[in-house]
Homo-oligomer: A and B are copies of this chain.
Amino acid sequence: MATEQEITTLADQLEELLAGNSVDKAVELMASIHPADQADIYSRLEDDRREAFLALLSAEGMADFLSHLEEEPRLEIIAAMPRVVLSRVLDRMDNDEAADVLQTLPPSDTARVLANMATAGEVTPLLGHAEESAGGLMTRGFVALHKDMTAQQAVTYLRLRKPFAEEAYYLYVLDALNHLEGVVNLRELIVAAPEATIEEIMARDVVSVVTGTDQEECARVLQRYRLRALPVVDEDGVLNGIITADDLIDVITEEATEDMYRMAGLLGAEGVFTPVLESARRRIAWLSINMVTAFFAAAMVAIFEDTIDKVTALAVFMPIVAGQGGNAGIQTITIVVRGLALGEIELQDARRVLAKEVAIGVIKGITFGLAVGIVAWVWKDSWALGLVVGLALLLNMLVAGLAGTLIPLTLRMMRLDPAVASGVFVTGFTDVIGFLLLLGLATLLISQLT
């Protein structure tokens, strides 16, 4: 484990050793560094040192290093790696990650790399599952026991099989047709009497998901039942693989980032260090949608240009009615989108959520409608202006509650991601309706306002 400071120091040391061709010392230093830290160091090296850095890693070291690396540099390294070497590296990765790598290769390469892999038999069944499904996340390396074994036999079996660390925590009990019958955790096996049978110590009601389950749902199940790994079965209940908690922790982080990004109008996996032009291209794509909603808002104002010409003070209250409505809408949509993501709201709760958000909208509307209405009345000494501004704000708050609830619920009902309902749409909507209310009411009461 290394701090920022230590990583900088390690990177400098390594750079120096590589510059001086002290390969042996560099290999030694490298072996003492955690792969997560190696990945950080790699990203700080000058381009012309990177090849020398990679040459220091054994096949096993390379597998660990790649597992901790960001996607972009990983793809570059893999693309440049001789195919025979890649086979050896993938053999040393978790199957699920090996399968992910294989799926990024051109089809002809996939076949060639698989042909040289010792673990091809385990990795091949993982190909062809959607990347964001349980099938795409699972690894084949689970440990299976039979219920007639004794605890002692199971321990002996484990000693011979030497499973990877992350796969050994839960031991799954299968029948002759590989149906999942029960689960024993490693600790229970150790503390059990040696002659106890697996059947006696196993838990029967195993929490599992099917191969097609979405990764977000897998993460929810893991979290709900506080598990360390999640077995994945096919439609017949045959155990196909397991998903380890570390992969699902990554899913939880990724999904939260994705939701935040979508709500803010950011596309895909843009990071802080995505190249400028690429970032600009993606953001402009989304802002163009906002441009459309902004033009609608502008068109609404244009319709009432005459009214503004007569009562310029209305322009002063435009940002208040639109801004308060927009922010109220963002509050509601955030609550609803996050509630849907965490599984706190289901579609059947729609009516209850809507009733609540409408009630809050009315309370917010009355509070701010009164406050701003009175300010407008006093400022221009016009009760009609106060009435128009206050009523427009009140109603726009109500609209914000409705839109903030109904947009994401409708998207979920259409099986789309509710987060795409994003700030852009809800603020666009409250802008348009806010101006319609403010300027429309003013036009109706124009005789009182001039």
Tell me whether A330 and B1 are in contact in the complex, defined as CB-CB below 8 angstroms, given that A163-B187, A279-B360, A318-B319 are known contacts: no
Tell me whether A364 and B165 are in contact in the complex, defined as CB-CB below 8 angstroms, given that A279-B356, A309-B312 are known contacts: no
Across the interface, do B191 and A162 meet the contact criterion of CB distance under 8 Å? Answer: yes
Give 1 or 0 for each of A355-385: 1 = CB within 8 Å of chain B CB.
0100110011001100110000000000000
Residue A42 at the B interface, CB < 8 A? no
Across the interface, do A346 and B257 meet the contact criterion of CB distance under 8 Å? Answer: no
Within 8 A of B (CB), among A227-273: 227-228, 245-246, 248-250, 252-253, 256-257, 259-261, 263-266, 270-273
Within 8 A of B (CB), among A215-237: 221-228
Cβ contacts under 8 Å, A305 to chain B: 312-313, 315-316
Which of A32, A188, A315, A324 gathers most chain B CB within 10 Å? A315
Tell me whether A317 and B298 are in contact in the complex, defined as CB-CB below 8 angstroms, given that A245-B249, A364-B287 are known contacts: yes
Across the interface, do B328 and A363 meet the contact criterion of CB distance under 8 Å? Answer: no
Residue A85 at the B interface, CB < 8 A? no
Across the interface, do B339 and A271 meet the contact criterion of CB distance under 8 Å? Answer: yes
Across the interface, do B359 and A276 meet the contact criterion of CB distance under 8 Å? Answer: yes
Q: How far is the CA of A344 from the CA of B363 in the complex (A)?
A: 40
Across the interface, do A363 and B280 meet the contact criterion of CB distance under 8 Å? Answer: yes
Cβ contacts under 8 Å, A245 to chain B: 228, 245, 249
Q: Shortest distance in angstroms between A5's beta carbon and chain B's nearest beta carbon?
A: 11
Give 1 or 0 for each of A406-427: 1 = CB within 8 Å of chain B CB.
0000000000000000011001
Cβ contacts under 8 Å, A103 to chain B: none
Across the interface, do B168 and A342 meet the contact criterion of CB distance under 8 Å? Answer: no
Residue A320 at the B interface, CB < 8 A? yes
Q: How far is the CA of A245 from the CA of B244 in the complex (A)?
A: 12
The closest CB in chain B to the CB of A329 belongs to B264
Across the interface, do B36 and A253 meet the contact criterion of CB distance under 8 Å? Answer: no
Number of residues on chain A facing chain B (CB within 8 A): 118
Q: Tell me which of A14-22, A120-128, A289-297 binds B.
A: A289-297
Tell me whether A319 and B334 are in contact in the complex, defined as CB-CB below 8 angstroms, given that A186-B186, A280-B360, A283-B364 are known contacts: no
Across the interface, do B294 and A320 meet the contact criterion of CB distance under 8 Å? Answer: yes
Q: A250 contacts which of B223, B256, B287, B368 (Cβ < 8 Å)?
A: B223
Q: How far is the CA of A328 from the CA of B32 in the complex (A)?
A: 44
Q: How far is the CA of A323 from the CA of B297 in the complex (A)?
A: 10
Across the interface, do B360 and A327 meet the contact criterion of CB distance under 8 Å? Answer: no
Tell me whether A187 and B205 are in contact in the complex, defined as CB-CB below 8 angstroms, given that A253-B223, A316-B298 are known contacts: no
The closest CB in chain B to the CB of A154 belongs to B190
The closest CB in chain B to the CB of A259 belongs to B260
Cβ contacts under 8 Å, A322 to chain B: 319
Across the interface, do A286 and B4 meet the contact criterion of CB distance under 8 Å? Answer: no
Q: Shortest distance in angstroms between A152's beta carbon and chain B's nearest beta carbon?
A: 12
Residue A159 at the B interface, CB < 8 A? yes
Residue A155 at the B interface, CB < 8 A? yes
Residue A336 at the B interface, CB < 8 A? yes
Cβ contacts under 8 Å, A353 to chain B: 272
Q: A256 contacts which of B159, B253, B264 (Cβ < 8 Å)?
A: B253
Tell me whether A264 and B295 are in contact in the complex, defined as CB-CB below 8 angstroms, given that A162-B191, A305-B315 are known contacts: no
Cβ contacts under 8 Å, A256 to chain B: 252-253, 256-257, 260
Q: How far is the CA of A1 from the CA of B363 in the complex (A)?
A: 40
The closest CB in chain B to the CB of A8 belongs to B348
Residue A111 at the B interface, CB < 8 A? no
Across the interface, do B284 and A1 meet the contact criterion of CB distance under 8 Å? Answer: no
Tell me whether A34 and B207 are in contact in the complex, defined as CB-CB below 8 angstroms, given that A245-B228, A272-B349 are known contacts: yes
The closest CB in chain B to the CB of A435 belongs to B319
Cβ contacts under 8 Å, A443 to chain B: none
Across the interface, do A328 and B264 meet the contact criterion of CB distance under 8 Å? Answer: no
The closest CB in chain B to the CB of A33 belongs to B205
Tell me whether A336 and B283 are in contact in the complex, defined as CB-CB below 8 angstroms, given that A225-B34, A305-B313 are known contacts: no
A-B contact pairs, 8 of them (CB 8 A): A4-B346, A168-B187, A186-B190, A272-B335, A287-B328, A302-B313, A305-B312, A305-B315
